[in-house]
Amino acid sequence: MESTCSQFRFENYYNDVNSCEPTSAMVTTTPLETAQVVIHTFFTIIPIIFSVFASHIASLKITFANDLWKYLFDFCLIVVPIVLNVTILNPYVEVICVILMIILFVILRRMEINPLECKQRVLSLGHQPNSLTLIRSTINIITAVCILAIDFSTFPLSFRKSRFYGVGLMDTGIGLFVFSMGIVSKPPKTGKDFLKIPKVVGPVLFLGLARTIVIQTINYHQDDTEYGKHLNAFFTLGLTKLFGGLISSVVGSELQLLLLGMFILTTHECLLLYNVADYVMNRKEDRSTFFVANREGFCSLPGFVAIYLLAMYIGRFLFSETTLMVEEYSKKVKRFAIMAALAWIITFICIPTIRISRRISNFGYVSWTFSIALTILLLYIIMSDYVFYAWSTTGGEYKLPSLMEATNRNGLVFFLVANVLTGCVNMFLNPSDRSPVTSIVILSLYMLLSSSLVYILLRLRIKIA
């Protein structure tokens, strides 16, 4: 179905309301433009790490009357800066990051650190290490902010989803979500493990079907180049979990898991180079059959399965042991840091060669996803497992902000509520016409409502999904 200019304006694909000139989201960007957005996107994301650090420092200095006040404090310190970073402060995020790094360096220099003494200390990572909770909640929070922020005029045009080759902040969402699923997953080995798969996959696929039915019923415009005419992110997440779980059951070691993921990714890239990518990207191709109408969702699936399997390998590599010596853990972290550096090198090699495309989830997109995810995880590991635990003179355990725990514990509920509220804001508040200040207020209240629900579930010790 061919979309009209007014429909595209509604989706914010045009630079101004009086023009039908496409933005960078609609055309293939140059390698230099792509590289600039890759770097700028990363600097937009990482300030949340400094916010979490600030939350911990503040909790050591400030006594709160109760947990609710601490939660509200963390919300102002963690979520509000994200809202500002993806809107009115976005042109200055590089400067902000430099200032925050200087402040962090000064704070660390004043801390009493004795690395020699802690080498023989035993590090307890637990069932789910703090660094994993932090990266998963970070992905949830940033995604929730962006799915509504994109409807405001203050959201940068370069951050919108790319329709062909190129990158935007919105392109990171589905890849990082798949990464966050895979890193906490284990290959199923027993009958009980296999029975868990439909219990997890079923609700996600149901949400995908429900979203498709609602959109088709109310004739709500959606961009077919994202996942296809009928498929959506929920279908991609559910099918990735299903196929990733089943395929991983054949491996017997971490190395085999790595090799399997790389084999799927390499095979997928070879097929894309052999005209499959051109077929998916072809604007003249009709959508008369179910497969053709949803070719983006089907043809990108192997790339997302590869992300899932490789993330599963990372999780097993780093956290297969729940208790180990700090010195032994440090060797793993050093190898992990090399992986993160290699991911960035591969990403910048891919930019001018095979390019990056979320639409087909090619090799470049997978490497870009891992560049961001591995770097964030590395920084959280250093912060939570070293600065706040292993290198502290007291050896006290780092207590996570309740906001981060809540958005991780019931991540699917949080994301679903955010989607519902996003629809409500679009229907009743006309976000595209709002001033910058009003946009910030609406986005902040929207995030407060979304996170408050999962915070209540956390306080009641209820885990849904």
CA 367 to chain centre: 14
Average pLDDT on 293-301 reads 92
pLDDT tens per residue across span 392-437: 544 455 678 899 999 999 998 999 999 899 989 988 888 888 899 9
- Asked if 357 and 162 touch (Cβ cutoff 8 Å), the reply is yes
Closest CA to 448 of 73, 93, 48, 45: 73
Identify the residue whose tokens are 């009928």: 230
Strand partners for 113: 392
CA 80 to chain centre: 18
pLDDT tens per residue across span 155-188: 998 898 888 888 999 999 999 999 999 999 989 9
pTM of the shown model: 0.89
What pLDDT sits at residue 20?
34
What pLDDT sits at residue 304?
97
Share of residues in the chain with pLDDT > 70 (%): 87
Mean pLDDT of the chain: 85
Whether 142 shows a pLDDT value over 80: the answer reads: yes
What pLDDT sits at residue 91?
93
Whether 25 shows a pLDDT value over 70: the answer reads: no
Q: Mapped to the 3 state alphabet, what secondary structure does 197-224 carry?
A: HHHHHHHHHHHHHHHHHHHHHHCCCCCH
What pLDDT sits at residue 59?
80
